Amino acid sequence: MYEQLATEELGLTLLETTFVIVDLETTGGSPKQAAITEIGAVKVRGGEIVGEFATLVNPQVAIPPFIAALTGITDTLVASAPTIRVVLPSLLEFIGDAVVVAHNAPFDVGFLTAACVQQDLQWPKPQVVDTARLARVALHRDEVPNCKLGTLAAHFHSPTTPTHRALDDARATVDVLHGLFERVANHGVTTLEDLKAFTSRVTVKQREKHHLAKGLPAKPGVYLFKDAQGSTLYVGTSKNIALRVRNYFTASETRRRIKDMVGIATQVQPIVCASALEARVRELRFISSEQPRYNVRSKKPASQAWITLTNEAVPRLSIVRTPKDEDAPAFGPFNGRHAAQEALETLSWVFNIRTCTTKFRKLPVVNESAAHGCSRFDLGRCVAPCKGDYEPHHQVVHRAFTAMQGDLRSITHAITEHLRYLSNQERFEDAGLWRDRLTMLAQSSVRSHRLGQLCVTQEIVAACPTPDGGWEIHIIRHGRLAGAGIADPGVDPLPIVETLIATADLGVHEVLTEETAAIADWLDQPGVRLVHTSSSLSMPVHCGGNLVKQLISARKAANTAVLHVDAGLPSMRPIGPRKGAVTRIRTTA
């Protein structure tokens, strides 16, 4: 059983909402060519009238005869009336922060908005309810022949008959509004948000399932849409479960598959979490274990790839989904196989590692047929172990092994030399592509060592201050979230930390790379403090952290940049724009 939500969490109830019902009489149908001749407004709250506003307005233009015949408002009648410049500020004050109601609201609101623009006043952009639109949704055609104000006023037995005079029509609209409220209450419409959803372009199923959003907690966590058999259809996360789930039943939800999902769902299961990080982690775990059919990630899991060295007599670089050999270094993860393939080609180019799939014996044997090597050997891109000498290739593999373990200096030097060559040849677009490759390799190096450090650390206890002065506390074990809690403002967090450590999950589980990445991102947030670690946290000095900052900073600074080489490590600074927004690379000693 959940606690009763506050008004702001449930949405403003119709009984507590202040409405101002407005009606205008004008000289025509368009605010560009016509002007307002009369304003009538009635303020209601809780079903009771709390104020009225009525005035004629001098339009300062002639009133057409057919308008005068329809409304009874003539040029003589408005001759001594105040102009819109005098009337409008008083009307805006009367409206205040109330919800504006009108029959065929676009007409009335359009004229008021245009008048504000003409008088250099700020239209407050209030929430608007159109009784004509509401009637079209709430009433059946066999009940009323049309949704004109006079027809609806008679249907709901309004004591006021619309007369095409502003105050009378506004009073009649009040009765129509209350009659419609009674009708839509049968559909579970009790709040202003419910009313907006009811009149929005939502499917019948969405409207029928709106009750599934009732009673949910307004707290961070995970929510699971389930069908009649209890199977999970969709998993989501939010900082406010109640508000987020409510949106699935409104016009703001435009995804076709989600609308279909809502039609099947019979319940929403909320799981309150201590923090947004815990909610994110739980969402990832549920999607991985439940495989809900309406989550895109269930059908198209996050495509991740790693680069590792094969376990062969003559190793080569290979792309794998998950590194399996703990003794072999792994580079990644990369977002998709295409990015991993580009990185593999770059590493093969830098270190001249073989790319062929030839099977080599454990002991080298001179191969007469390969005496001249292959085309890559002729281009200087392979040391040709196929010729029978493995040692040169072992040396380049060792260099690649060292780089993948966290020393990118050999990669940086090789690509920088290539950038110098391309710069001298004025091949600036090619140089830009190689700069991007260097950035990608550096980012992957940082990411792989960052995640690897978390996975090998037995326990990390970290805390982050909350906006209200409390603390979010997380227990991380081997790259997995093992516990989460909140210390309220003014409460000593240390006892809570001790309790979380004592009760945190000790089980051995498969670690999702995305979960570890989410934890790493949280640890990098400003304000996060390490309370305890079972071992020191460190990154290889030359794994590429500073290089990434320099390259990304330069890219943001300008479309065109100059790459300077200082002690073997590149840094970038912007120069003037160059046609085509290419990258120009220069080198300095």
pLDDT in tens, 199-209: 766 677 777 78
Residue with tokens 């979230």, as numbered in its chain: 481
How do residues 505-518 score in pLDDT, each as one tens digit? 876 667 788 888 89
Distances (CA, A) of 400 to 59, 307, 406: 83, 11, 10
Both tokens of residue 36?
């307002």
Tell the burial category of 300 from Cβ atoms under 10 Å away from its Cβ (0-12, 13-18, 19+). Answer: exposed
Least Cα distance to 439 among 324, 257, 259, 572 occurs for: 572
What is the distance between the alpha carbons of residues 545 and 543, in angstroms, rounded to a whole number?
6
Q: Is 372 a catalytic residue?
A: no
Cβ atoms of 454 and 479 closer than 8 Å: yes
Distances (CA, A) of 21 to 36, 123, 170: 16, 16, 6
Q: Which amino acid is at 179?
A: G
What is the distance between the alpha carbons of residues 2 and 271, in angstroms, rounded to a whole number?
12
Q: C-alpha angle with apex 539: 533 to 542, nearest 5 degrees?
A: 165
Mean pLDDT, all residues of the chain:
83
Catalytically annotated residue among 103, 155, 157, 164: 164
* SS3 state of residue 296: helix
pLDDT of residue 365: 62
CA atoms within 13 A of residue 173's CA, in its CB half-sphere: 32
What is the distance between the alpha carbons of residues 146 and 156, in angstroms, rounded to a whole number?
13
* SS3 state of residue 145: coil
How do residues 240-281 score in pLDDT, each as one tens digit? 999 899 888 877 777 888 888 998 999 999 999 999 999 999
φ, ψ of residue 83 to 5 degrees: the values are -80, 170
DSSP readout, 225-257? EE-TT--EEEEEEESSHHHHHHHTTSTT---HH
pLDDT of residue 89: 95
DSSP readout, 458-517? S-EEEEEE-TTS-EEEEEEETTEEEEEEEEPTTS-HHHHHHHHHHHS-----PPPHHHHH
What is the distance between the alpha carbons of residues 345 and 341, in angstroms, rounded to a whole number?
6
Both tokens of residue 383?
């040391």
φ, ψ of residue 183 to 5 degrees: the values are -70, -45
Both tokens of residue 431?
């140089």
Q: What global pTM score does this model have?
A: 0.58
What is the distance between the alpha carbons of residues 237 and 219, in angstroms, rounded to a whole number?
11
What is the distance between the alpha carbons of residues 38 and 442, in angstroms, rounded to a whole number?
70
pLDDT in tens, the chain (589 residues): 333 334 344 457 899 999 999 999 999 989 989 999 999 999 999 999 999 999 999 999 999 999 999 999 999 999 999 999 999 999 999 999 999 999 999 999 999 999 999 999 999 999 999 999 999 888 887 889 999 999 999 999 999 999 999 999 999 999 999 999 999 888 778 888 878 777 766 677 777 788 898 889 999 999 999 999 999 999 999 999 998 998 888 777 778 888 889 989 999 999 999 999 999 999 999 998 888 988 887 655 556 788 888 888 888 888 887 777 665 677 778 877 888 888 888 888 888 888 887 787 777 666 655 555 677 776 777 877 777 778 888 888 888 888 888 888 888 888 888 888 888 888 888 888 888 888 888 888 888 888 888 888 899 999 999 988 999 999 999 989 999 999 999 999 999 999 999 988 876 667 788 888 899 989 988 899 999 898 888 877 787 777 777 766 656 653 444 444 443 433 333 323 333 333 333 333 2
* SS3 state of residue 40: strand
Cβ atoms of 30 and 113 closer than 8 Å: no
If you compute the radius of gyration of the chain from its CA atoms, what whole number of angstroms results?
A: 35
Q: Is 306 left (phi over 0), alpha (psi -120 to 50) or beta?
A: beta
End-to-end CA distance of the chain: 71
